[in-house]
Amino acid sequence: MDKIEIIGAGPAGVSAAYYLAKSGYNVVLYEANERLAKKPCGLGIPSAKNLPIEIKKEFIGKVIKGVTLYVDEMKTVDENDFLEGYIIDKESFLESLVVESGAEIRKKSSYNPLKSMVRENGKPREIKKGMLAGGFTFYKGEKINALQTVVKSRDLEDLNKLIIFFDTEIIGYYWIFPGINGTEVGIGGYRDINNLKKLLERFIRKNYMLKASKVISPIVGAQIAVGGVSLDMHKNLTKIGEAAGFVFPLTGEGIRPSIISGIEAAKAIVNGKNPRERLEKADVTKAIKIQRRILRRVQTMERNKRREFLSLMPAQVHAEVALGRMNKQRIAMALARRPDLAIKLLKYIGD
């Protein structure tokens, strides 16, 4: 049986391990932490349709049916009952995939990128070939900071949608997501951690939906890769997941693209093909490229132009782009009704 070694047991590494182990490979996952999914994460998969791995009922914390988007204070999208998304119990979900697939996992086994070594039973051993799914620290492109906490609020107990507030000043966003133990509230953007922390605290104090809420968890954070897909190799390791930029740059959504990248890379290996070539051509790579292009345009605009651009988008276009689904039919239909906006938008987005 062929042996495949994978560094990092997040959504990308575990998905690749799952597919390869189920296909008969002898898979070993090396994970630095003792527990999986330790990194802060909002746990939202906004659109689970066509996800290449089933999320079993027991790992679904909340069902997401809609999305509300704001640009600064202005509501631009409010769509209900058009999504099948989830807030997941990420740790149990990942653990179950490892167990079900029969992949071997070595926890508290950190890979040293300078020496290409992992420690096994206290002894260093070189990793010569395999996949690197170690997350944002291995990503060389642009990253933003993101922070989150959990609040308790009676008013939000039945929340079944994602609420995202794009902020044209910080070129980032605040989010309010249904959570498993409360409501997840967070911020991501081009600011340092201290500044984001202050902004998040102010948001919780001032936002009308959160006024009656109580913060029940410390503010924690990490970075998010927003520079787009970059399929550079690390030594002889193929990067997948956030390490290779599989994150939607406009919203910071990384679980779904990381899972897809892990499965796509694994499929290439099983079929004797080059994983990087398959990843380069994947639909998710194209969708990330479009978001990255929009983000770059938005970054170079003056603030009022930025606001105009984001609020110009018809609701369906905004939702399709923000969710990274890029359903061409929905986008075309929405733009067909507003040819004046289509021309403006295309001018911004470019070719």
Ligand X SMILES: Cc1cc2nc3c(=O)[nH]c(=O)nc-3n(C[C@H](O)[C@H](O)[C@H](O)COP(=O)(O)OP(=O)(O)OC[C@H]3O[C@@H](n4cnc5c(N)ncnc54)[C@H](O)[C@@H]3O)c2cc1C
Residues that bind ligand X (CB under 6 A): 7-13, 30-33, 36, 39-45, 110-111, 133-135, 137, 146, 148, 186, 221-222, 224, 241-243, 247, 252-256, 258
* Lookup: tokens for 336: 């067909």
Q: How far is the CB of 100 from ligand X (least distance, A)?
A: 18
- Report, in Å, the least distance between residue 313 CB and ligand X: 21
Which is closer to ligand X, CB of 186 or CB of 275? Answer: 186
Shortest Å, Cβ 188 to ligand X: 7
Determine how β-strand 161-167 pairs with β-strand 66-71.
Answer: parallel
Rounded least distance, CB 187 to ligand X, Å: 8
Q: Report the residue number, 18 or 309, with the smaller CB distance to ligand X.
A: 18
Residue 109 · residue 119 · CB < 8 Å: yes
Pairwise CA distance, residues 337 & 314, whole Å: 9
Distance CA 98, CA 104 (A): 7
Smaller CB separation from ligand X, 134 or 314: 134
Q: What are the C-alpha distances in Å from 31 to residues 135, 250, 336, 338?
A: 11, 29, 49, 50
CB of 338: closest distance to ligand X in angstroms?
30
Cβ partners under 8 Å of residue 344, min gap 6: 312
Bridge pairing between strands 130-132 and 172-178: unpaired
Closest C-alpha among 86, 250, 230, 233 to residue 242: 230
- Residue 48 CA: distances (Å) to CA of 51, 56, 259, 351: 5, 11, 11, 29
> Residue length, the chain?
351
Shortest separation between residue 290's beta carbon and ligand X, angstroms: 17
Residue 150 or 255: the one with the smaller Cβ distance to ligand X is: 255
Which residue lies nearer to ligand X by CB, 200 or 335?
200
Instruction: Output the six-digit token pair for 231.
Output: 């399929």
Give the residue with the Cβ less far from ligand X, 167 or 242.
Answer: 242
